[in-house]
């Protein structure tokens, strides 16, 4: 079985980069830099959503299914730099050559990873292979929208039509999974300013758990999993998360996730 790696990123405004782009003095606080950029963006198009290259990645979470094992974790720790966690992500691809799974990864997560990886000088040779090193990658690589080495679940379910896109939270809940628990992307900057990076990292982990569960349901729909195999995969996820609650009882997000799981 080819390993699968579900991933999700969380971002905040890149205040150091914005300071450079807007030629702002060094004595202006990071919060004020962000407020200036958000205000300018709102004036331009009515939204505070910054261009993708102006996002700084503060967390990357993964759900890996490999061999007999399943695990969910966040790369690095709260002290890790953006460059370190991005490099760790591409190192996982180098290690496992997995099928990578996302929800809106084509529209957001991967372009942000591309820009930020370029800025930091990250090595991602396996990810960018288009067949030069591995001939199989000529016909199925991570970059092409219509290949499945990267499967953007939101994109394919919407038939590559952005007008048909559905939110992860809605689909997860409609399928009986927990969905988002008390946080969403609009709250991340405020949470980060409040020193709640661990809460952001935990939230990111629940997103990849939801996405992995939806991926299993997608494989059931495609006939890639029988009902018994699907039930066993879902049970493995639940058992793994129950194990996390026992070994790390001080971490709140998995008990909340399990309690919300119908």
Judged against a pLDDT cut of 90, whether residue 131 lies above it is answered with yes
Check: CB of residue 11 under 8 Å from CB of residue 113. no
Give me the architecture of the 4-253 domain, per CATH. Answer: 2-Layer Sandwich (3.30)
pLDDT at 181: 85
- CA distances 118 to 62, 84, 125, 204, Å, are 21, 13, 12, 23
- Residue appearing with tokens 């006939």: 223
The verdict on pTM exceeding 0.85 is yes
Burial letters for 15-24: b for 16+ Cβ neighbours within 10 Å, e otherwise? Answer: bebbbeeeee
Structure confidence at residue 184 as a pLDDT band (50, 70, 90) = confident
pLDDT at 262: 80
Query: How high does pLDDT run on average in the chain?
Result: 96
Tell me which residue of 208, 254, 253 sits closest to 103, measured CA to CA.
208
168 contacts: CB under 8 Å, gap ≥ 6: 103, 104, 154, 179, 180, 207, 210, 211, 214
Measure the CA–CA gap between 143 and 46, rounded to whole angstroms: 31
Going from N- to C-terminal start, the domains of the chain cover 4-253
pLDDT (tens digit, 9 = 90+) per residue, 57-88?
999 999 999 999 999 999 999 999 999 999 99
Residue 217: Cβ within 10 Å count: 20
Helix and strand totals (H; E) in the chain: 11, 5
Mean pLDDT of 159-172: 96
Mean pLDDT of 168-184: 92
Judged against a pLDDT cut of 90, whether residue 114 lies above it is answered with yes
pLDDT at 173: 97
């Amino acid at each position: 079985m080819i390993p699968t790696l579900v991933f999700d990123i969380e971002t905040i405004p890149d205040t150091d980069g914005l300071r450079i782009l807007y030629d702002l003095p060094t004595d202006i606080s990071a919060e004020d830099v962000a407020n200036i950029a958000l205000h300018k963006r709102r004036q331009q198009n009515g939204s505070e959503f910054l261009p993708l290259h102006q996002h700084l990645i503060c967390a990357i979470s993964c759900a890996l299914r490999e061999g007999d094992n399943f695990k969910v974790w966040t790369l690095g720790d709260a002290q890790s730099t953006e460059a370190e966690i991005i490099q760790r992500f591409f190192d996982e691809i180098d290690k496992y050559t997995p099928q990578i799974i996302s929800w809106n990864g084509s529209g957001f997560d991967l372009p942000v990873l591309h820009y930020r990886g370029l800025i930091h000088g990250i090595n991602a040779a396996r990810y960018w292979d288009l067949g030069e090193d591995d001939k199989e990658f000529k016909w199925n690589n991570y970059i092409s929208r219509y290949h499945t080495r990267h499967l953007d679940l939101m994109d394919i379910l919407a038939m590559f039509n952005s007008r048909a896109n559905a939110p992860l939270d809605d689909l997860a809940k409609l399928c009986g999974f927990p969905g988002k628990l008390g946080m969403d992307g609009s709250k991340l900057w405020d949470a980060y300013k409040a020193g709640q990076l661990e809460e952001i990292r935990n939230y990111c982990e629940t997103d990849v758990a939801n996405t992995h569960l939806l991926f299993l349901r997608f494989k059931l729909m495609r006939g890639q999993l029988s009902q018994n195999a699907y039930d066993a995969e879902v049970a493995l996820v639940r058992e793994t998360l129950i194990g996390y609650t026992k070994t790390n009882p001080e971490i709140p997000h998995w008990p909340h996730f399990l309690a919300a799981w119908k």
